[in-house]
A and B are shown apart, each in its own frame.
Chain A
């Protein structure tokens, strides 16, 4: 797997989130700002043409949707694992297996008092 500055930058941001240096809303805002710039010219460097896959892009999009995906700090290890996925197939398998175990009703209930999350 080739060295990716994008993946490393995202990992650093995830670590800041885990350490409480930044909040989930700041992580989302950071991802959004990157995505709204011309991400491919300025950020994404792990794109594989044959698979049309970039782990960095996939994670950025997940972070962009953190409020509606109900992403929490407990998901960070998974995001870090996904970030080093060598292929779309392994990325999809790992994320599907993980999120299939998430009880979203329970998570909605737990997060309903946090203004950031959309749980209605």
Chain B
């Protein structure tokens, strides 16, 4: 099979992959999916895991089934689902991947994905990109010794990345890294540069970094929003939405495991606040949404 691929990475080798076993995670998810399918005899488009987390959705790509978690409640997912698919997968910070196959794996995947799953797709994209680099014998430019690229179950690892729960990525692991940076970290790299025209949501390391991604008027609004965050907040995000507005958010994790608050503001190009709300999240998902401005 011939695949034309253009890949541009702005990365440097730093360290090998950490001990997190994505394959194991995927096996666990797959077992659960199989069990649920057997029990119900139907396709699991949406389901909740035995431990009460979720909802998750199942995406089928050929023979591959991927379990994707919804970090954000469905009512919030409108933010990016109406974006043209061409803009969702071709522009990531420091990473650009294009496939010459018209009806590509990536495109199909992304067209059916929700905002929360884009983070997983980042991981899958990087993983597959690395795998292809290895197959094309170009991996001397990256980390050829990485166990990630040497494993015989690389594709399984990719899917494992994709099946990581967003809460794990965003809250436990991603506090100091962007989603893409996290994926690269896991595969042995460090991100050294960023592009600013990020379309999909981007985890940011700090309030300062979050603010720095905006223009002057929006930065003023972001200053006002982000300064309400405390020292234990994380997952600062600036997401430019398809309608020209910008979504700002951060997360405050409670010490009581599984709980937290997600603070969200949507501003226009002039920094005017269009929507302002906070979600209380628990192990089973959204517990309460409190609208402060622009609610229904």
Docked complex Cα distance between A88 and B230 (Å): 10
Kindly supply a per-residue 1/0 record for chain B positions 216-244, scoring 1 wherever the CB is within 8 Å of any chain A CB and 0 otherwise: 00000000100110111000000000000
The one of B228, B232, B259 in contact with A39, judged by C-beta atoms closer than 8 angstroms, is B228
Q: Which of B34-42, B55-63, B140-148, B278-286 contacts A (4 or more CB under 8 A)?
A: B278-286
Kindly supply a per-residue 1/0 record for chain B positions 232-267, scoring 1 wherever the CB is within 8 Å of any chain A CB and 0 otherwise: 100000000000000000001011110111000000
Q: Which residues of A contact B255 (CB under 8 A)?
A: 69, 99, 102, 104
Q: Which residues of B contact A52 (CB under 8 A)?
A: 207, 227, 231
Q: Is A35 an interface residue (CB 8 A)?
A: yes
Q: Is B287 an interface residue (CB 8 A)?
A: yes
Q: Is B209 an interface residue (CB 8 A)?
A: no
Cβ–Cβ contact B282 & A36, under 8 A: no
Interface of A is mostly: helix
* A68/B259 contact (C-beta < 8 A), A118-B282, A120-B282, A120-B284 known: yes
- Quote the shortest CB–CB distance from B275 to chain A (angstroms): 14
* A120/B260 contact (C-beta < 8 A), A57-B228, A57-B230, A61-B252 known: no
Q: Which residues of A contact B252 (CB under 8 A)?
A: 61, 65
Q: Is B292 an interface residue (CB 8 A)?
A: yes
Q: How many A-B residue pairs have CB under 8 A?
A: 53
Interface residues of A in 68-99 (CB under 8 A from B): 68-70, 88, 91-92, 99
Docked complex Cα distance between A88 and B231 (Å): 8
The one of A38, A57, A58, A68 in contact with B256, judged by C-beta atoms closer than 8 angstroms, is A68
Q: Find the B residue at minimum CB distance from A57.
A: B230
The one of A35, A53, A104 in contact with B228, judged by C-beta atoms closer than 8 angstroms, is A35
Q: Is A40 an interface residue (CB 8 A)?
A: yes
- Quote the shortest CB–CB distance from B292 to chain A (angstroms): 6
Interface of B is mostly: loop
The one of A40, A91, A92, A108 in contact with B227, judged by C-beta atoms closer than 8 angstroms, is A40
- Quote the shortest CB–CB distance from B284 to chain A (angstroms): 7
* A68/B227 contact (C-beta < 8 A), A61-B252, A118-B287 known: no
Docked complex Cα distance between A61 and B227 (Å): 12
Docked complex Cα distance between A35 and B227 (Å): 11
Cβ–Cβ contact B259 & A118, under 8 A: yes
Kindly supply a per-residue 1/0 record for chain B positions 193-232, scoring 1 wherever the CB is within 8 Å of any chain A CB and 0 otherwise: 0000000000000010000000000000000100110111
Docked complex Cα distance between A104 and B224 (Å): 33
Docked complex Cα distance between A92 and B255 (Å): 13
- Quote the shortest CB–CB distance from A38 to chain B (angstroms): 8
- Quote the shortest CB–CB distance from B127 to chain A (angstroms): 34
Cβ–Cβ contact A58 & B231, under 8 A: yes
Q: Which residues of A contact B256 (CB under 8 A)?
A: 68-70, 104, 107-108
Docked complex Cα distance between A61 and B282 (Å): 17
Docked complex Cα distance between A70 and B256 (Å): 7
The one of A39, A53, A99, A102 in contact with B231, judged by C-beta atoms closer than 8 angstroms, is A53
Q: A40-B224, A118-B282 are in contact. List 13 more A-B contacts (CB 8 A).
A: A35-B228, A40-B227, A40-B228, A52-B231, A58-B231, A61-B252, A65-B252, A65-B254, A65-B259, A68-B256, A68-B260, A70-B256, A104-B255
11 A-B residue pairs with CB within 8 Å: A39-B228, A40-B228, A58-B232, A61-B252, A68-B259, A91-B231, A92-B231, A99-B255, A102-B255, A104-B257, A118-B287
Rank and list the top 3 A-B pairs by shortest CB-CB distance, nearest first.
A68-B259, A68-B254, A61-B230
